[in-house]
Amino acid sequence: MGEPGAAVEAWVAALGTAFAAGDSAAVADLFAETCYWRDLLTFTWNITTCEGRPAIRAMLEARLAETAPGRLTVVDEATEDAGVITGWFTFETAQARGIAHVRLRDGRAWTLLTSMEELKGYEEKKGRRRAFGAEHGVHQGRSTWLERRLEEAETLGFTRQPYTVIVGGGQGGLALGARLRRLGVPTIIVEKNARAGDSWRNRYKSLCLHDPVWYDHMPYLPFPDDWPVYSPKDKIGDWLEMYARVMELNIWTSSEVTGARYDEATGRWEVVVDRQGQSLTLQPTQLVLATGMSGIPNVIDVPGASHFRGTLHHSSQHRGGEGYRGKNCVVIGSNNSAHDICADLWEHGAASVTMVQRSSTHISTSDSLFKFGTSKLYSEDALERGITTWKADLLNASLPYAIMHEFHKPTMDAIRIEDADLYARLEKAGFLLDYGDDESGLHMKYIRRGSGYYIDVGASELVADGRIKLKTGVAVDHLTETSVVFSDGSALPAELVVLATGYGSMNGWAAKLISQEVADKVGKCWGIGSSTTKDPGPWEGELRNMWKPTQQPGLWFQGGNLHQSRHYSQYLAFQLKARMEGLPTPVYALAPSYHRA
């Protein structure tokens, strides 16, 4: 064992001693003055980051005795880079097994991540614990796997109630559903489309995932090793449909939740579902909204819309450029959807395509994001360095949000050098570029506000060379029968106007399905309180309301990209399973609600 290894061993041993002594002060003293402890359930039954020694000590004073951590064991090799020593250790609490990742500076912890990996007594039946399958011996009246599956489909939601209902059968709902299945939590997933995966299939035809394959695996069943880097939408649709099937998920397709009400007296929900035309009520204890992190479309009110003779719709309604050949098209907005739709219209031979840019946008090319960003943890290179998907997710989670932007600035700097030419040409074309409030680039915009950027897969070239026209620094004033009139008095002929004006917070779904009161009680989803554009404070240090307890008992939000759907579904699943089993789950530092949306 080299020096980094010895340092990690020593620190973990000291931590174990302080834990065993129940000495919160001693534990806090093992941290550097600037320090972060991010806990994923193990101590707090919450997703929360304690920032600074006093916060760590306060958390432990509330939680150390009951958590009873022990059996700390260093695993994997420690490494050192620029004065920071990194190590891993496993541990147990009274309730769970966990893994931890620590970064040491001068012998004290700068960052600590603690992640729940297994609930004691409720381990997944995998590997040596897997089901036997066959029932050897002879059994009169034996039931088969198929009979049990059919019986479950016929009874769950009818003669017996699911513990959990998940609204939405995209990657978020399916990933969580698969984890709950393994943990034995009876669950129904309600999906409005006819087939799982249709939420991808139904989008514009050239769509491919914007994240690379290594980032996108679903839980338990990784893609085969020839899966394309950027999955075409129909291929990922097929994969998700297959996934729901082989994971034995109870997914109700062509079904929509039309309303839900929490019964304080019984602690259960009344969820009204239109199931293939038939209305029925489910009574789960837990309700998960997995309706897409983008929430409800922001449809702006455009004066004159009723007079407009062409097509006017929100980007979420736009099915692709077919049918607009030879037409004049105006797209309001300049983020991902706006770019994708403009390029698709151009590819389909629209007479003119104009993007109306209302405020500045960040652009990073897909290639550069991968080269300078994602590939560090998610790539063939990373795999060769021993960074499995599981390890990559933990490393990803180990960076506290409070300092994450510091790690993204050098990435952004590198991309600005790499793509200097593109950026210069975009500016020359009049495009209003930004790199984030603190120049930290795309990923922080994603975390802080989930918007304000375009991952360039080709449209920026069309903007730079004028094939997509730009209209900037103006607002839409009104529509006439055949044109868009802007605030500066100028006008453009239009047969299609697309409102690529984004989406509201996910709690808009709570307002729509439950009540405005519950939506307000829960408050805004997403964002970390960074006090940057569209991410108002106060500081929370975690994504608001995501994958963790909310102010509304029994209401949860699951969502995000494929990586987040995969990794954070683990923690949401443990929280639901523990509640189903009646385990104590005292939530430390339940976040208050500050913003309605």
Q: Is 126 or 385 the residue whose CB approaches a second copy more closely?
A: 126
- Contact call for residue 386 and a second copy (CB under 8 A): no
Q: Is 39 or 393 the residue whose CB approaches a second copy more closely?
A: 393
* Helices 562-580, 389-397: inter-axial angle, 10-degree rounding: 80
Cβ-contact 401, 492 below 8 angstroms: no
User: Which residue do the tokens 């995966």 mark?
Assistant: 197
- Contact call for residue 22 and a second copy (CB under 8 A): no
- Contact call for residue 213 and a second copy (CB under 8 A): yes
Please provide the DSSP assignment of 546-567 as one string.
BSS--SSTTEEE--SSHHHHHH
Which phi and psi (to 5°) does residue 538 adopt?
A: -75, 165
In whole angstroms, the minimum distance from the beta carbon of 130 to a second copy comes to 5
Q: Is 129 or 428 the residue whose CB approaches a second copy more closely?
A: 129
- Contact call for residue 140 and a second copy (CB under 8 A): yes
- Contact call for residue 249 and a second copy (CB under 8 A): no
**Binding to a second copy (CB under 8 A): which residues in 439-458?**
457-458
Among 97, 108, 205, 313, binds a second copy (CB under 8 A): 205
**Choices 80-88, 223-231, 303-311, 552-560 (CB under 8 A): range interacting with a second copy:** 223-231
- Contact call for residue 466 and a second copy (CB under 8 A): no
Among 83, 121, 224, 538, binds a second copy (CB under 8 A): 224
In whole angstroms, the minimum distance from the beta carbon of 182 to a second copy comes to 6
Q: Is 136 or 160 the residue whose CB approaches a second copy more closely?
A: 136
- The side-by-side arrangement of strands in the sheet containing 286-289 is 251-252, 187-190, 164-167, 286-289, 555-557
Cβ-contact 171, 177 below 8 angstroms: no
| DSSP 3-state of 185 | coil
- Contact call for residue 370 and a second copy (CB under 8 A): no
Q: Is 29 or 238 the residue whose CB approaches a second copy more closely?
A: 238
Cβ-contact 538, 544 below 8 angstroms: no
* Per-residue DSSP letter, 191: -
In whole angstroms, the minimum distance from the beta carbon of 205 to a second copy comes to 5
* Per-residue DSSP letter, 317: G
User: Which residue do the tokens 């099915």 mark?
Assistant: 319
- Contact call for residue 553 and a second copy (CB under 8 A): no
In whole angstroms, the minimum distance from the beta carbon of 133 to a second copy comes to 3
In whole angstroms, the minimum distance from the beta carbon of 179 to a second copy comes to 11
CA dihedral 495, 303, 319, 434 (to 10 degrees): 100
Q: Is 210 or 596 the residue whose CB approaches a second copy more closely?
A: 210
> How many residues form the binding site for a second copy (CB under 8 A)?
62
Among 32, 208, 272, 590, binds a second copy (CB under 8 A): 208
In whole angstroms, the minimum distance from the beta carbon of 152 to a second copy comes to 13
Q: Is 13 or 194 the residue whose CB approaches a second copy more closely?
A: 194
Residues 219 and 405: their CA atoms lie apart, in Å, by 28
Amino acid at 255: S
Q: Is 130 or 160 the residue whose CB approaches a second copy more closely?
A: 130
CA end-to-end distance (rounded Å), the chain? 52
Q: How far is CA 513 from the centre of its chain?
A: 21
Cβ-contact 257, 271 below 8 angstroms: yes
**Token couple for 86:** 């990194």
- Contact call for residue 367 and a second copy (CB under 8 A): yes
Please provide the DSSP assignment of 34-102 as one string.
EEEEEEESTTTSSEEEEESHHHHHHHHHHHHHHH--EEEEEEEEEEEETTEEEEEEEEE-SSEEEEEEE
Amino acid at 525: C
In whole angstroms, the minimum distance from the beta carbon of 240 to a second copy comes to 10
Q: Is 33 or 421 the residue whose CB approaches a second copy more closely?
A: 421
In whole angstroms, the minimum distance from the beta carbon of 208 to a second copy comes to 4
| DSSP 3-state of 335 | coil
In whole angstroms, the minimum distance from the beta carbon of 346 to a second copy comes to 6
**Binding to a second copy (CB under 8 A): which residues in 229-248?**
229-232, 234-235, 238-239, 242, 245-247
Among 33, 81, 83, 226, binds a second copy (CB under 8 A): 226
Residues 275 and 282: their CA atoms lie apart, in Å, by 11
Residues 29 and 109: their CA atoms lie apart, in Å, by 9
Q: Is 163 or 239 the residue whose CB approaches a second copy more closely?
A: 239
**Binding to a second copy (CB under 8 A): which residues in 179-198?**
182
- Contact call for residue 392 and a second copy (CB under 8 A): no
**Binding to a second copy (CB under 8 A): which residues in 97-136?**
124-128, 130-136
Q: Is 71 or 125 the residue whose CB approaches a second copy more closely?
A: 125
Among 227, 390, 407, 588, binds a second copy (CB under 8 A): 227
Q: Which neighbouring-strand residues pair with 188? A: 165
Residues 202 and 318: their CA atoms lie apart, in Å, by 10
Burial 393-415 (b: 16+ CB within 10 A, else e): bbbbbbbbbbebbeebbebbeeb
In whole angstroms, the minimum distance from the beta carbon of 302 to a second copy comes to 28
Among 2, 73, 145, 466, binds a second copy (CB under 8 A): 145
371 Cβ contact partners less than 8 Å away, ≥ 6 residues apart: 418
Q: Is 183 or 293 the residue whose CB approaches a second copy more closely?
A: 183
Among 139, 160, 264, 428, binds a second copy (CB under 8 A): 139
Gyration radius of the chain over CA positions: 25
Residues 345 and 205: their CA atoms lie apart, in Å, by 11
**Choices 208-216, 389-397, 510-518, 565-573 (CB under 8 A): range interacting with a second copy:** 208-216
CA–CA distances in Å: residue 466 to residues 101, 330, 344, 498: 49, 14, 15, 19
Q: Is 206 or 360 the residue whose CB approaches a second copy more closely?
A: 206
**Choices 30-38, 339-347, 407-415, 550-558 (CB under 8 A): range interacting with a second copy:** 339-347
| DSSP 3-state of 439 | coil
- Contact call for residue 421 and a second copy (CB under 8 A): no
219 Cβ contact partners less than 8 Å away, ≥ 6 residues apart: 175, 178, 179, 566, 569, 570
**Token couple for 531:** 């006090």
Site for a second copy, rule CB under 8 A:
124-128, 130-142, 144-147, 149, 182, 205-206, 208-209, 213, 220-221, 224-232, 234-235, 238-239, 242, 245-247, 343, 346-349, 366-367, 380, 457-459, 461-462, 467
